């Protein structure tokens, strides 16, 4: 099995350019189903989740040509199927994003119940309730969801119980082909949703208000292919910001290729912790914190503190001079990461959806297991500042969302390597 081995204590320097946003690229790939023809997506991250979404589209009948490492030409002219198979959806929850486009393109969809990181229930009830309001009928059987809109979808007002990113995206992609106007109230406001709406508008959709709590969509008869560039990955950027805050040399490190406004609350909280972050034209410069101050954080939908940055923030809090509290409001299982950080010497107590973190002077290298995508990356970052060697296993989770993660850290001057070792379970 592959592991990531980290030798702690080496200062970081230089700059890195983050990849395209995973959470945007996957939905943009799904959206290509709405426009028969060849759409070109640029700045697509070369990660395993993108590969899985590519397989989903191919099973539906699309063809995908790799223009270069970060550009895909997706031709959906001959899409003939409306079924997203179990073996692919079970690998990645974002595969459910094809539901809205398939309803808009084919009038029906058959989607396996979703998988992905083990972060809790993450049900898709809101997707179903919203689409039902548009006139879609649903049936579930043997682990599949059958959605039928052959009678046509009609615009209406949909109020989401929670500002769900996935539900907002599926509703937008379905309603661009509905008859009349649709209003999504309490819509998610994430930058990735704005990116999706921008591409759909370039394709001929009529969407107003993306990035605000109220999104209005006027249905159109058809959409056309476009060339679109994926926004930079704010979560990858945030992960490297934490690495810089812990181990940057006297000049700091630069993290480029993203919009710093997309990390507004993260930067605000980190500055309260005593970290100096200078905004640049296309990124930030991060300086190492001589001392880290405790701060309380609660995860919330954008523009709040993102749940995808919670584990990385916990690494900082675990080294703060005092006690911090992190409250997880999005995914109930996200604190699985904490027990692995405790193996490295952190002092963390979990009570329900609260983590009480008492700062310690430092971490000790240890063998730890990546519990999920962001937690795995955070453990590698913790290893950068730990005493001795840290070995992180189950790194397939990290591969889902970080492109060339080890190589980028090495470029910073970190002593990190990816090695293949015998699986102890094979003994």
Q: Which residue ranges are tagged as binding site? A: 22-23, 93, 308, 330
How many other C-beta atoms can be found within 10 angstroms of the C-beta atom of residue 225?
20
- Residues 246 and 219: beta-carbon distance below 8 Å: no
Residue 395: strand pairing partners: none
Q: Quick one: which of 220, 168, 175, 224 has its CA closest to 40?
A: 224
Q: Quick one: which of 174, 254, 182 has its CA closest to 12?
A: 254
- Residues 173 and 166: beta-carbon distance below 8 Å: no
- Residues 376 and 412: beta-carbon distance below 8 Å: no
The three-state secondary structure class of 99 is helix
- Residues 237 and 263: beta-carbon distance below 8 Å: yes
CA distance 7 to 23: 30
How many other C-beta atoms can be found within 10 angstroms of the C-beta atom of residue 232?
25
Encoding tokens for residue 244?
A: 């810089």
| Residue from 18, 41, 117, 149 carrying the catalytic annotation | 117
What b/e readout covers 69-94, taking b as 16+ CB neighbours within 10 angstroms? ebbbbbbbeebeebbbbbebbbbbbb
* Residue set of the binding site for UDP-N-acetyl-alpha-D-glucosamine: 93, 308, 330
**Residue 106 annotated in active site:** no
* Residue set of the binding site for phosphoenolpyruvate: 22-23
Encoding tokens for residue 7?
A: 């030798």
Which residues are known catalytic residues?
117
């Amino acid at each position: 099995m592959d592991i990531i081995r980290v030798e702690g204590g080496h200062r970081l320097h230089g700059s890195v350019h983050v990849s395209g946003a995973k959470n945007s690229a996957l939905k943009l790939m799904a959206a290509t189903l709405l426009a028969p023809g060849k759409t070109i997506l640029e700045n697509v991250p070369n990660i395993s989740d993108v590969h899985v979404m590519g397989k989903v589209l191919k099973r539906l009948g699309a063809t995908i040509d790799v223009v270069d490492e970060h550009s895909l030409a997706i031709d959906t002219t001959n899409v003939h199927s409306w079924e997203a198979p179990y073996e692919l959806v079970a690998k990645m929850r974002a595969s459910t994003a094809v539901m809205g486009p398939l309803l808009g393109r084919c009038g029906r969809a058959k989607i396996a119940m979703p998988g992905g990181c083990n972060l809790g229930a993450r049900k898709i009830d809101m997707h179903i309730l919203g689409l039902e309001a548009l006139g879609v009928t649903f049936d579930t059987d043997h682990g599949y969801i059958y959605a039928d809109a052959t009678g046509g979808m009609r615009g209406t007002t949909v109020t989401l119980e929670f500002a769900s990113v996935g539900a907002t995206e599926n509703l937008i992609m379905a309603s661009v082909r509905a008859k009349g106007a649709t209003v999504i109230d309490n819509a998610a406001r994430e930058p990735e949703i704005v990116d999706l709406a921008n591409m759909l508008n370039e394709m001929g959709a009529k969407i107003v208000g993306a990035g605000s709590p109220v999104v209005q969509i006027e249905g159109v008869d058809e959409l056309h292919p476009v060339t679109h560039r994926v926004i930079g990955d704010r979560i990858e950027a945030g992960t490297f910001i934490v690495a810089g805050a812990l181990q940057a040399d006297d000049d700091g490190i630069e993290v480029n290729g993203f919009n710093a406004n997309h990390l507004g609350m993260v930067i605000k909280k980190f500055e309260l912790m005593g970290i100096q972050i200078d905004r640049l034209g296309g990124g930030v410069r991060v300086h190492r914190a001589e001392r880290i101050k405790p701060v309380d954080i609660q995860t919330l939908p954008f523009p709040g503190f993102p749940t995808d940055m919670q584990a990385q923030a916990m690494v900082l809090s675990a080294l703060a001079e005092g006690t911090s509290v992190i409250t997880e409001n999005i995914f109930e299982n996200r604190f699985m990461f904490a027990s692995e950080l405790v193996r490295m010497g952190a002092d963390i107590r979990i009570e329900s959806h609260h983590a009480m973190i008492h700062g310690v002077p430092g971490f000790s290298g240890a063998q730890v297991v990546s519990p999920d995508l962001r937690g795995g990356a955070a453990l590698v970052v913790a290893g950068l500042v730990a005493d001795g060697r840290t070995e992180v296993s189950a790194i397939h989770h990290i591969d889902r969302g970080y492109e060339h993660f080890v190589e980028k850290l090495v470029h910073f001057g970190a002593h990190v390597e990816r090695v293949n070792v015998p699986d102890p379970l094979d003994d």
